[in-house]
Structure 1
Amino acid sequence: MTDETGESWLADDRRRVALGVVLAVVVLLAVVIGAVWLYSGHLYRTSYESEYTYEVTLATNGTLTNATIYLPVPEATDTADLGAAAVERGTNQSGPLAYEAVETERGPMLAVSAAEWTVTPEYYQFVERNGRGERVEIPESEYDPDDPSMVVNDTRSVSVAVTVPVDRSVDTGTPWAGEPLLRPRIDRRPSDCGSPGPEWRECYAFDAAVYASYDTTSDTEVYASTTLYGTNAWWVFGWSYDEYRDDVTVTLEGPKDGWTDATGTLETDTDQREPP
């Protein structure tokens, strides 16, 4: 004979135990999630940092003499004077080039100059040694342009960069509202981004200018690039960041003595996360 009342009590006990286990798991998960959330907020607040980086790159495939080049420079603000910082302590300053912040008819710019900037081609051949491929330098007399194992490096380049930290969040969404931007610049206008990206990235174009004066051969090319980054970064189980990027790049051909118009690009990040 079955004791239905006893079985009912047993079933009720099992349900109560199961419910207690579920509630315990829910509470434990809530505690863990809350702890992770609090710790993530702590990591975010304590790791959050903001900075500006100004970079200049020059490259040429021919010797330049009596060279002076004026490049766009970020406008000085109460927070940072990146042009002066690049001159005083920019990294990787090498070769015969001199750097100076100057005032021009189009506003402050970075002047790069040299009495002579020599490009000496270097010739190489790829050979196999001990089962490994190596690049070895060879004399010009041995160089054969039709030999695919031989290459020539006929370009000389230099780069200068400086990073300045700031004690506040950088406005990466609307940097024209108070952040330093490259000058000279006029007529900011919306433009297509050069490559696919997140939906919160917005791109703009603007008119800029570069001044160049130097003697060289007609087939010489000079590549000049100036880039400014305004970046916020934080670490929460991995680094994340948002930034704006301001850039002016030109390629000049042959001897020069005057201003060259250029089109700059500005990329902004409208999905900015402010520190709590």
Structure 2
Amino acid sequence: MNKLIKILLIFTILIIAASVLWINHQNQMYEDTFQSEYQYDISIKTLQPLHNVTLYLPLPSDGNESFFSEGLKSENNLNKPTGWNCTITETKHGKMLQITAQKIDPEFHSTPVPIEEGQDKGLNRTIKESTEYSEDTPIPYPEGFSIYQNSDHELDTKNPLENEVTFIPKYSIKEVPNQFPNDENENAKTYQYESRIYAQYNTTAENTVDISMSFIGMNNWWVYGWNGNQYHEHLHITLKGDQDGWTPIEGEIVTGEGNYR
């Protein structure tokens, strides 16, 4: 009996030791691969040319200083379209992204051709581009750019409205029910709000312009596969004809999305 107890005790100690080593190994992998970063995207889609363009667009901010001021200065970090001048300017709604251009042309692409079974993947891959609609280029395509930036701290993705960088300005914030895939996520919350953009340009009366902005803050790590959590927000508006002034724009932010250790 004593021998059996000793064997069971040794076996239990080995299991505990192995479990501790396994947990420590996973924690080390987590610490070695953990990273936090931000991504800011701007997209403009027009069907006709825009002339003498000035835009003020919401910009991620901590309330005191524009977050991407350094990123806007780096040509390596800012792949903006030719002719777009981007700066940060003070407005009556706070610091915003200012985009100016003498002209923004539309961009149309050819229709993608699906690859059939057994066909060489390199075939039918050429994309035709044009500044005008045609039978060869019928698909309107947005122009824009992205800025990426690393964070020096772990992001509070559950409470970014209080503790992190988010779009400004924000007015009339209200919580709304989560939609799929977050409808059963106990950590996720969805908020809608109103923001502002300023648009000044000349175009045809029937032309429509879609302006979109998105921002995401992410924590990522690798423990036998990538994992992480995030908060993200999106703004979109469709404008028609000439513009000259401030316009409300609807936005949404989803917080607490993903997995937490």
Equivalent position of 1:213 in the other structure: 200
Is the helix fraction higher in 1 or 2?
A: 1
Quote the offset at 1:36 in angstroms. 0.5
Choose which of 105, 110, 124 in structure 2 pairs with 1:134.
124
**Correspondence 1:37 to 2:27:** no
**Correspondence 1:84 to 2:69:** yes
**Correspondence 1:183 to 2:168:** yes
CA distance, structure 1, for counterparts of residue 115 and residue 35 of structure 2: 47
Q: Which amino acid aligns with 1:185?
A: K
Equivalent position of 1:99 in the other structure: 86
CA distance, structure 1, for counterparts of residue 229 and residue 113 of structure 2: 42
- Superposed CA offset, 1:165-212 (max 9, x none): 222221111112231221111121101234332231110011111111
Equivalent position of 2:219 in the other structure: 232
Q: Which amino acid aligns with 1:72?
A: P
CA distance, structure 1, for counterparts of residue 223 and residue 178 of structure 2: 29
**Correspondence 1:204 to 2:191:** yes
Q: Which amino acid aligns with 1:246?
A: E
Q: Which amino acid aligns with 2:51?
A: T
Choose which of 138, 159, 169 in structure 1 pairs with 2:154.
169
CA distance, structure 2, for counterparts of residue 237 and residue 126 of structure 1: 37
Q: Which amino acid aligns with 1:199?
A: E
Question: Unpaired runs of 5+ in structure 2?
Answer: none
Over 3 Å counting, the alpha-carbon distance change for 1:30 and 1:81 in structure 2 is: same
Q: What pairs with 1:68-79 in structure 2 (closer than 5 Å)?
A: 68-76=54-62
**Correspondence 1:246 to 2:233:** yes
Asked if structure 1 preserves the Cα contact closer than 8 Å seen for 2:228 and 2:258, the reply is no
Question: Unpaired runs of 5+ in structure 1?
Answer: 1-11, 146-150
Over 3 Å counting, the alpha-carbon distance change for 1:58 and 1:270 in structure 2 is: closer
Quote the offset at 1:270 in angstroms. 7.5
Over 3 Å counting, the alpha-carbon distance change for 1:95 and 1:244 in structure 2 is: same
Over 3 Å counting, the alpha-carbon distance change for 1:157 and 1:86 in structure 2 is: farther
Residue identity over aligned pairs, in percent, reads: 23
Q: Give the number of the structure whose alpha-carbon radius of gyration is greater.
A: 1
- Superposed CA offset, 1:142-174 (max 9, x none): x996xxxxx534524223222222222211111
CA distance, structure 2, for counterparts of residue 271 and residue 136 of structure 1: 37
Over 3 Å counting, the alpha-carbon distance change for 1:244 and 1:117 in structure 2 is: same
- Superposed CA offset, 1:68-103 (max 9, x none): 11110012568x743313421243212221111111
Equivalent position of 2:142 in the other structure: 157
Equivalent position of 1:64 in the other structure: 50
- The two structures have a TM-score, normalised by structure 1, of 0.77
CA distance, structure 2, for counterparts of residue 119 and residue 212 of structure 1: 17
- The two structures have a TM-score, normalised by structure 2, of 0.81
CA distance, structure 2, for counterparts of residue 233 and residue 207 of structure 1: 30
Aligned residues: 252
SS at match of 2:124: strand
SS at match of 1:176: helix
Quote the offset at 1:231 in angstroms. 1.8
SS at match of 2:142: strand
Over 3 Å counting, the alpha-carbon distance change for 1:96 and 1:138 in structure 2 is: closer
SS at match of 1:82: coil
Q: Which amino acid aligns with 1:255?
A: D
Asked if structure 1 preserves the Cα contact closer than 8 Å seen for 2:209 and 2:238, the reply is yes
